[in-house]
Structures are given as C-alpha cells and as structure tokens.
Structure 1
Amino acid sequence: MTRHETYEVAWHRTLDVNLTIHYRMTHAVTPAMVDRQWGSIFNVSSVNARSGRPGLIAYSTAKAGLLGFTRSLARKLGPHGICVNTVLPGAIQVDAEHTLPAHRRARPEDQIARQCVPRRGQPGDVAAIAFLATLSASFITGRSLHIDGGWLLH
C-alpha cells in the first residue's frame, strides 16, 4: 500500500468513526422519536471543529461536519418535537489521548494556556450533555455547546 493509499484509508476511517456513525445512529433512532413526537439527539464534536489542527485534518473535518449535520437535522426533526444539538468539548483529560502518537499530542500546558479556566477539563465537566436530554431543554435545538474552559470565545 502506498503512502497515499494509507492516507485515504485513514481519512475514510476517521470520517466513518467521527461523522458517519452519527448519521447511522440518528437514522436508527429517529423513527421511534417521530412516533413519540419527542426526542433529543446530541452529537459529540470537538473544539477542533472550529479551531482546526494541522496533525488532525480528517478528525477536524469530520467534527466540523457534525455542525452542519446538527443544524440540518434540527430543522428537519424540530416539527416532530425532536431537538438536535452538538457538544464541542475542549481539552478533556481522557485515557484515549495516550493512544495518539507523541507528535500529534498537544502538551497539556499549551492547551491550558489557551483557555480562560486554567486547568485540564475532566470527564465530569462534560456532564452538561445530560441536560440536553431533559424536557427542560426541549426548546434548545440546532445549538453548539462549547465545553472548553473558554478556549474559543464567540
């Protein structure tokens, strides 16, 4: 396999894992939600969808694709009482980050320096996702919720 072919395989796998799977899951669950006339879908993107990252081009592209997917679904499914939102975590400390090659890992101190809140995000910080699944959030749709310690301000 040539280097280009290897890149093509990696590109498609990254899009499948980070974008296409959201389509497949949504396709599987929406008929029951439409029947109930209520539901909540939230896609997990990444701060990299808005900031980009040279070593993670396919990943950043896939995560950015979730933003358009979310907005389109919000318009399509809203009339059925279904809310669709995206959560964009920032530098959340997870075990999976250690599986990246060292040259693709950001240094924690560099990540922290970009944020307003000077600490690493923890998995519990992303618990705001749970709110989007409640009736209290039934008027929130098509939104992007950044959980990034103030990494990107907009």
Structure 2
Amino acid sequence: MPTRPPGARAIELNLTTHYRVCHAVTPTMIDRQWGRIVDISSINARAGLAAYSTAKAGLIGLTRSLARELGPHGICVNTVVPGTIQVNAENVLPIHHRARPEDQVARQCVPRRGQPDADAIAFLAGPAASLITGRTLHIDGGWLLH
C-alpha cells in the first residue's frame, strides 16, 4: 500500500472536501435557481505550510470558477479570508509551525487579534449580497496592506 505524501490530509480536508460538498449541494440550488456558497480560506493561503496554503489558495480558485459556472443559476459563491483570529485549533499545531500572535498583529493596521464572528458570512449568505459573487473578503485587520 503506497504511503500518502506529506500534506495529503491537509489538501483533502481543506480543498477536496469543499469541492465535494459543493458538487453535492449545487444540483438542488440549480433546481431552485438560488443559492449561496461561502468558503473559508485563510490569510495563510499566501504563504505558510505548503499543503495547507495550497489548499486554502485552491479554495479561492474554486470560488471564482464556481461563481462563473453557477451565477447564471442565481447562485453566489464567495470566500472569506480571516486573518489573526483567535481559535483553539492553532494550539494543536506543532510549536515550530505556530506563528507568534504578536508577530501577526504587528503586520496589521488594526493591532489586535479577532474573535470568531459569523457576521460577514451571514451577510454573504443572505439576500443583500445578491450581486456579490466570485469575491474574496479579507477580514484581516489590514494585514495585506503591509
């Protein structure tokens, strides 16, 4: 039995699973001629751990492709890119892969870590966002401005 390459699980969880879920739910959305898909990427889509970053960057590409394919059916597809959001999941990373929160915050215009917040996702999933599709919304405290 061949061994899986390093990072295969990260790509499976962070990209392939999203693709499969979208593939599973879009037929019903197409039948209804309405739907919303909001993927969650990461500021680390730009650089970080190779497999994780690749998967999160792939989500942005998936969003753009699905937006073009599904838009004629009234389906909007967007990606939210959180920055330094304080979550428990970061504590399971090996210490040598963890970024120091103070280093992350120093790269932002708004010098604090965010808390998990679904307001942007709720907006993109609702009727007020009916003409927003194929977009990547960065909620990163201005990280990318640096």
TM-score normalised over the length of structure 1: 0.90
RMSD of aligned alpha carbons: 1.6
Partner of 1:66: 59
Q: Percent identity?
A: 71
Moved over 2 A (4+): none
Is 1:140 aligned to residue 140 of structure 2?
A: no
The Cα shift of 1:11 comes to: 1.8
Q: Within 1, Cα distance between the matches of 2:113 and 2:39?
A: 22
Partner of 1:22: 18
Is 1:113 aligned to residue 106 of structure 2?
A: yes
Partner of 1:128: 120
In terms of fraction of residues, the more helix-rich structure is 1
The 3-state SS of whatever aligns with 2:137 is: strand
Opposite residue 72 of structure 2, the aligned amino acid is P
Q: Within 2, Cα distance between the matches of 1:106 and 1:89?
A: 15
The Cα shift of 1:115 comes to: 0.5
Q: Within 1, Cα distance between the matches of 2:7 and 2:89?
A: 19
TM-score normalised over the length of structure 2: 0.94
The Cα shift of 1:67 comes to: 1.1
1:17-39 Cα shifts (integer Å, max 9, x gaps): 00001111101110110011000
Gaps of 5+ in 2: none
1:74-126 Cα shifts (integer Å, max 9, x gaps): 000000000000111111100111000111111110000000001011112x5
Gaps of 5+ in 1: none
Q: Within 2, Cα distance between the matches of 1:108 and 1:80?
A: 42
Partner of 2:86: 93
The Cα shift of 1:127 comes to: 2.5
Paired residues in the alignment total 145
